[in-house]
Structure 1
């Protein structure tokens, strides 16, 4: 579910700002909003702009903390800002010689990488570079030319020039090479190459031997350079290891001061002329559950005031979304966040997704043995690694196990357990029709959720006239009733009943825009281009009617995968020789691993597709913004 929010405004003397941030924002979870934006109608507000005095010391502290694999101190220690600064400055001075050495090595490395980058395209040239540079009567140019111009050059220009072009490397865009030309012809040849957009690459005199030898020499120097840098890093870590807790505690304290100071970016200042004093204003969101405790604390704080607003209609910004579900359903929030968080006035679909995803997965992947493996493996992985996906796999595995009992399947063996419901391979049509019926039920639930969302958002069109509103729900349910009556050989309802339950909903959907305007008492009921409106509405209505059919049929895949899983395990049993009564255990094991891995992944993706495209698209927008309290920093 989505936690209820309350909008708060905290104000007090400017001199009390840092204390307020340290006391209240680090104690309570408050999602800050920009006060200038929220209070745009208030006059005489100005931004709270000051230079962060902790910026430099925080940068040094961060540089030192980065030397450790874990930035969390083993034992937390209380210290003042002065003590933390002294520790960081002392440690930084201790590192000055190593830092200077590392900086010089970094500059050298950049130079070596630049030399390597320049020479790399010419490695195939088998001639010593220093000899080329000693030429007196022959001029040379290293560089590259685009493939387009190189083709033209080769066909139409090359033969007429007194030059030799040696191609060294090429790719889809460029050709690298070097051309040689007599000194007397150099100016003319350079002009022609320039007109072909030949890009000169100047090679320094630092290269020795052939380009390949020079390149290998640079690789060796870079390796030596990296080793020196690693040695310095190790020495830095060694020097800091004895005081790691001191440094990390100091870093944490300075980070808190720096972060607290930066809250000024979200605050506003106002001046009360009578008192000639400046006051800060902070705005943000806090949960209904935490609001009373915050208000109680601030009530006892002299000169600090907090206003709480329950009526959110007058607030400029949208309330953030904080999901708060039972622990067993919390891993499924991952799927919700992938699609987009629900808006504050939407229903949280986490419970719906948790139940439907697990059930559909179980129907499509019903096997007692494989389901238990998924349930146990996913559970252990979640227990040790806290991976949400592992918990989802475990939950899906539980329902896979249940459906395995329903199908009477364990590791692909269909004759070990008696099936409680049916065998998919022997009841293909029953499985497919049940899947479509199950899918239709989920679509109806999705429509009901959409109507509830419309009521919460006070959206008349969404509630009554939308494809997934009341009109669409009546039409869809009536279609299902008619299909069931025809399939069971019962007579269809009377014409007047069909007209009321099929015709009227379609008319309401067709005219949903003008009807909504009429109910909301808007001045313009129909758009100006009425002809275009009716044409577009007709084709939209035709598409909507088709979508009801296609969306329902889409759930055939649920039954199809159940049959497919049974068929694939049947193939594994065939290869293992299970029909002889003495199956090859190795083939059974390998076959189960292959099917569980491949089909489990495919089924997981297909179920998520059904959730997103067949159900979410009917009721869910996912336009919410996450609740990001300052305390979490």
Structure 2
């Protein structure tokens, strides 16, 4: 069902807006509209221009709560006032920044050591005390790297004639690290040779001690010690935040609420002059909530509430809020996928829930597989609240029911007797047509009934909208209903062997409704005393109307036959399970239970998906298209109901 909405105006002294939001509106659902846009007839309207005073504190609170482990499981301490909350955030921020400052100092020191380690790392294979090597007076030493191919060239052709010694360090895919030693007198010539080999010098500061290996180990130990100190600081900070966790979570929750309430100013307007300065809020509320709100605020002399009666003329269509019984609640998902109903339109949720579940059950009738769908769907819906799981569980109930009707349990049809028939082999003889599968005939008859119901719903919607042409002269209106119901009646009389109505009666039953559909627009214009705009001539009007009428008749036929798929899937389900049992060797008396289990799972998953899609197609194209527009807009409350609110 669609919840009845009312448009209300709320006003009061400008500085009282936060109290009203916190005391009243935070406990009711209200979809706020921009007062500046809606109240165009009110003079001296101005926007609010104020900075949210809770935003910075909220960001800090959210940051610190984010550092907590599983904050959703922490019970908030709601005993704090607003001043306590701000003081908590200030003190926590100071303490946390102190920890971060100590950690930043250590982080910079760690990065310096890592940079030193990166410089000396490639020379780890080399022996020799770095301090002594870098202080040689009579030997010049150059550390660096050269490309691998140049190193091979040097080693093969130049090493014996260089007058220098090259000590190799680490090697990667592209470079060889190392150092060459040369006498100071030969240094200039050797440097030139190594430059020609693309040798890239690496300056080694004189602060390293011991061999490169020892220097790296020493640096690694220092880096590890610093990291341990940083971890200890993190533990201290976590311990500090943990001790304050209940208060931090409560502060975050309260600040979120206050910041959200303060931002209501974006939707509000100010009316300011020399005498007074007050706010105006306007929006949609459920009828029941409006009554409770007005009763609660009746003795408050600082708040003024006005309920608009003529909201359709000034504020447009109300938003749509659906409220259905729990068993039908999941089916609202299908309605939302198509489009929410307008406020005066019929909510098709219950209709969808009944017809979808019923048709699914017929197309997928099996006791065992139906119970499997019920159990799995119910469990997922219970723990995850997924609407599709709720739909599967409800449809599974009807699958189980029709499993008993068809006498099928996990594909076995010799365990229980069918309460009705077996879809795959039950036939019915019809006049003129001959033998047909019974479920096909019943499916078409059921489709006829569904189409008639959809037409009736279309008429009801037309009456609600005061749509004369749609109600009386549309293909799905009264004229279309009379024609289609007459065709159905004649078919039933013929198939059951009863006598037909007289030719004149048939002509009136079939001809008059079609003429009304053809000339529906001109008749409507005449009834409303509205002058019709004839853009095309009478001949073109008749030609266009003839083809539209032909298309309508064709759609009646095709839409009706579309319901044959219900029986087709009922038969195909039984046929697929026969194949599974045949592959498992069930006919021989010793079935392979692994094949039966896997086959049932495969059919349950694959055919269940296909059937679900096909039933949804019937809902949208054969039913919704006849009576439902889905042009409504969703109710989007600025505030959520919070009747157990605590805090400041």
**Shorter-chain TM-score above 0.5:** yes
1:140-151 matches, within 5 Å, as none
Shift of 1:525: 4.8
Corresponding position of 2:364:
365
2:468 is the counterpart of 1:465: no
Is this contact kept in 2: 1:514–1:526, CA < 8 A?
no
Q: Work out the CA distance in 2 between the residues paired with 1:539 and 1:91.
A: 77
2:548 is the counterpart of 1:540: yes
Is this contact kept in 1: 2:459–2:471, CA < 8 A?
yes
The change in CA–CA distance for 1:521 and 1:609 in structure 2 (over 3 A counts) is same
Corresponding position of 2:127:
none
Corresponding position of 1:389:
388
Q: Work out the CA distance in 1 between the residues paired with 2:452 and 2:17.
A: 53
Give CA-to-partner distance per residue, 1:187-234, whole Å, 9 cap, x none. Answer: xxxxxxxxxxxxxxxxxx9xxxxxxxxxxxxxxxxxx9xx99x98998
1:1-80 matches, within 5 Å, as 1-68=1-68, 69-71=70-72, 73-80=74-81
Shift of 1:415: 1.2
Corresponding position of 2:90:
89
Q: Which runs of 5+ in 1 are unaligned?
A: 106-128, 135-204, 206-223
Q: Work out the CA distance in 1 between the residues paired with 2:79 and 2:385.
A: 31
The change in CA–CA distance for 1:540 and 1:48 in structure 2 (over 3 A counts) is farther
The change in CA–CA distance for 1:75 and 1:247 in structure 2 (over 3 A counts) is closer
1:613-624 matches, within 5 Å, as 613-624=621-632
Is this contact kept in 2: 1:362–1:397, CA < 8 A?
yes
Corresponding position of 1:594:
602
Moved more, 618-627 or 537-546: 537-546
1:517-532 matches, within 5 Å, as 517-527=525-535
Shift of 1:255: 1.3
2:487 is the counterpart of 1:479: yes
- The SS at the match of 1:467 is coil
Corresponding position of 2:313:
314
1:270-285 matches, within 5 Å, as 270-271=271-272, 273=274, 276-285=275-284
Q: Work out the CA distance in 2 between the residues paired with 1:64 and 1:264.
A: 28
Corresponding position of 1:496:
504
Q: Work out the CA distance in 2 between the residues paired with 1:98 and 1:606.
A: 62
Give the TM-score, by structure 2 length.
0.74
- The SS at the match of 1:328 is helix
Corresponding position of 1:340:
339
Shift of 1:353: 0.7
- The SS at the match of 2:263 is helix
Higher-Rg structure is: 2
Moved more, 539-548 or 477-486: 477-486
Give the TM-score, by structure 1 length.
0.76
Q: Work out the CA distance in 1 between the residues paired with 2:625 and 2:79.
A: 52
Shift of 1:379: 1.8
Shift of 1:131: 6.2
Shift of 1:99: 6.5
Q: Which runs of 5+ in 2 are unaligned?
A: 108-144, 151-199, 201-223, 428-436, 642-648
Corresponding position of 1:409:
408
The change in CA–CA distance for 1:47 and 1:605 in structure 2 (over 3 A counts) is same
Q: Work out the CA distance in 1 between the residues paired with 2:638 and 2:66.
A: 23
1:110-509 matches, within 5 Å, as 239-271=240-272, 273=274, 276-427=275-426, 429-509=437-517
Shift of 1:60: 2.4
The change in CA–CA distance for 1:598 and 1:234 in structure 2 (over 3 A counts) is farther
Give CA-to-partner distance per residue, 1:479-525, whole Å, 9 cap, x none. Answer: 22233334344454333223322222222222333333333333335
Give CA-to-partner distance per residue, 1:13-33, whole Å, 9 cap, x none. Answer: 111111111111112222211
Shift of 1:406: 0.7
Shift of 1:300: 0.4
Shift of 1:427: 2.0
Corresponding position of 1:217:
none
Shift of 1:338: 1.8
Corresponding position of 2:584:
576
Corresponding position of 2:564:
556
Q: Work out the CA distance in 2 between the residues paired with 1:262 and 1:99.
A: 32
Is this contact kept in 1: 2:28–2:640, CA < 8 A?
no
The change in CA–CA distance for 1:522 and 1:90 in structure 2 (over 3 A counts) is farther
- The SS at the match of 2:420 is coil
Is this contact kept in 2: 1:18–1:260, CA < 8 A?
yes
Q: Work out the CA distance in 1 between the residues paired with 2:553 and 2:600.
A: 42
Corresponding position of 2:195:
none
- The SS at the match of 1:31 is strand
Is this contact kept in 2: 1:439–1:555, CA < 8 A?
yes
- The SS at the match of 2:490 is helix
- The SS at the match of 2:11 is strand
- The SS at the match of 1:344 is coil
Q: Work out the CA distance in 1 between the residues paired with 2:634 and 2:59.
A: 29
Is this contact kept in 2: 1:514–1:525, CA < 8 A?
no
The change in CA–CA distance for 1:498 and 1:238 in structure 2 (over 3 A counts) is farther
Is this contact kept in 2: 1:382–1:390, CA < 8 A?
yes
Moved more, 614-623 or 518-527: 518-527
Give CA-to-partner distance per residue, 1:385-427, whole Å, 9 cap, x none. Answer: 3222222111111111110111111111111111111111102
Is this contact kept in 1: 2:71–2:249, CA < 8 A?
no
Shift of 1:531: 5.7
Is this contact kept in 1: 2:525–2:532, CA < 8 A?
yes
Q: Work out the CA distance in 2 between the residues paired with 1:307 and 1:532.
A: 54
Is this contact kept in 2: 1:518–1:525, CA < 8 A?
no
- The SS at the match of 1:7 is strand
The change in CA–CA distance for 1:534 and 1:583 in structure 2 (over 3 A counts) is same
Q: Work out the CA distance in 2 between the residues paired with 1:233 and 1:504.
A: 86
Q: Work out the CA distance in 2 between the residues paired with 1:363 and 1:4.
A: 36
Is this contact kept in 1: 2:76–2:249, CA < 8 A?
no
Is this contact kept in 1: 2:367–2:403, CA < 8 A?
yes
Is this contact kept in 2: 1:515–1:525, CA < 8 A?
no
- The SS at the match of 1:50 is coil
Q: Work out the CA distance in 1 between the residues paired with 2:313 and 2:445.
A: 45
Q: Work out the CA distance in 2 between the residues paired with 1:495 and 1:449.
A: 31
RMSD over aligned CA atoms reads 3.1
Is this contact kept in 1: 2:10–2:306, CA < 8 A?
yes
Q: Work out the CA distance in 2 between the residues paired with 1:234 and 1:621.
A: 60
- The SS at the match of 2:458 is helix
- The SS at the match of 1:41 is coil
The change in CA–CA distance for 1:237 and 1:390 in structure 2 (over 3 A counts) is farther
